[in-house]
Amino acid sequence: MLDHNRGLKEATGKAESAQPRPVTLFTGQWADLPFEEVCRLAGSWGYDGLEIACWGDHFDVVKAVEDEGYLQGRRDILEQHGLGCWAISNHLHGQAVCEAIIDDRYKNMVNSRVWGDGDPEGVRQRAAEEMKTTARAAAAFGVDTVVGFTGSAIWHYVAMFPPVDDKVIQAGYADFADRWNPIIDVFDEVGIRFAHEVHPSEIAYDYWSTVATLEAIANRPGFGLNFDPSHMVWQDLDYVGFLWDFRDRIYHVDCKDTKIRMNNGRNGRLSSHLPWADPRRGWDFISTGHGDTRWEDIFRMLNHIGYDGPISIEWEDAGMDRLDGAPEALDFIRSMNGIRPSASSFDAAFATKE
């Protein structure tokens, strides 16, 4: 198994940060910019590194496994800007593996080699192969974690009407296991862990669906979780308790915030098909530190469970320019990340004899 905290340490000078955990920028929402420009921005703002998305021109997994020169080029760009990398992410292709409804949305989302002729089952199978290649690419790059989605054959039944037989739901978990166990086999072979982002539209989207998902694959350790509280806030989940209960499966942490706006009697939790930042929505993703997430409680729990991996900032805020939001979020998370456990109990002095 690779050193979880190595993350291209040999290629950067920021590996031994004074911060307890490296703070990275997820590049998924920046994929319209060239990789080198994202590195320049992140380095200038003071990020320790990147969580690199496998789309845009940021990271091509096939080139990564076939061309060492390509990988060295990625490393050189990171080093030039003083950045490390502890994880790569392939949400878009992971989503297609179990997706029940493969339509033209995917033609614009997955790469052409996965889309092929657009036949839904062909797309699912090619997406599975892409995820296996992603594991091999991560190993070649020197990181040990791939973050992503799984898709779900049963998410569209979430409203439970027309009535859905429990056999259909159980078949959905079985479909996930059948499609992902061979993928995780490859992850295990090359010493890489998959960190599934618990997220609506995925096989695991809340507490109990996460339990069922892990049980479906016999709790095998190659499959863990990417913790992103923003998806839990609007579902009214206890995300701090989630960290405790799944403490042995928290393989990566993303920081994105959510603002609830359901106090006027008209805005609903399902947000009425309204676009992001529309004031009639019941909630919105918002730049980290501006929402309703209890960040200090989260970081205190991360300390308690001993999580020492990267903290990745994911910018999603339709009401704030990303060039303002990304550096501001970094400052905010640095302040949270700097909370350290006390070296002694505050009441220890009362136990002295003198």
Q: For residue 135, what is the domain's CATH number?
A: 3.20.20.150
Is 1 inside a domain boundary? no
The DSSP code for 55 is S
Phi/psi for 35 (5° steps) reads: -55, -45
Report the distance separating Cα 252 and Cα 51, nearest Å.
Answer: 10
pLDDT for 14 equals 43
**Alpha carbon separation from 22 to 69, 144, 302, 330, 337 (Å, rounded):** 26, 15, 13, 11, 9
Is 348 inside a domain boundary? no
Is 3 inside a domain boundary? no
Is 247 inside a domain boundary? yes
**Residue 80, domain extent:** 9-342
pLDDT for 70 equals 98
pLDDT for 353 equals 64
Is 4 inside a domain boundary? no
Report the distance separating Cα 235 and Cα 237, nearest Å.
Answer: 5
pLDDT for 354 equals 61
- Tally the domains of the chain: 1
pLDDT for 16 equals 41
Is 188 inside a domain boundary? yes
Question: Looking at the chain, which runs of residues are DSSP E strands?
Answer: 23-26, 49-53, 84-89, 145-148, 193-197, 223-227, 250-255, 257-260, 283-286, 311-313
Report the distance separating Cα 86 and Cα 25, nearest Å.
Answer: 11
Is 241 inside a domain boundary? yes
Is 114 inside a domain boundary? yes
pLDDT for 6 equals 45
The low-confidence residues of the chain, meaning pLDDT below 70, are 1-19, 346, 348-349, 351-354
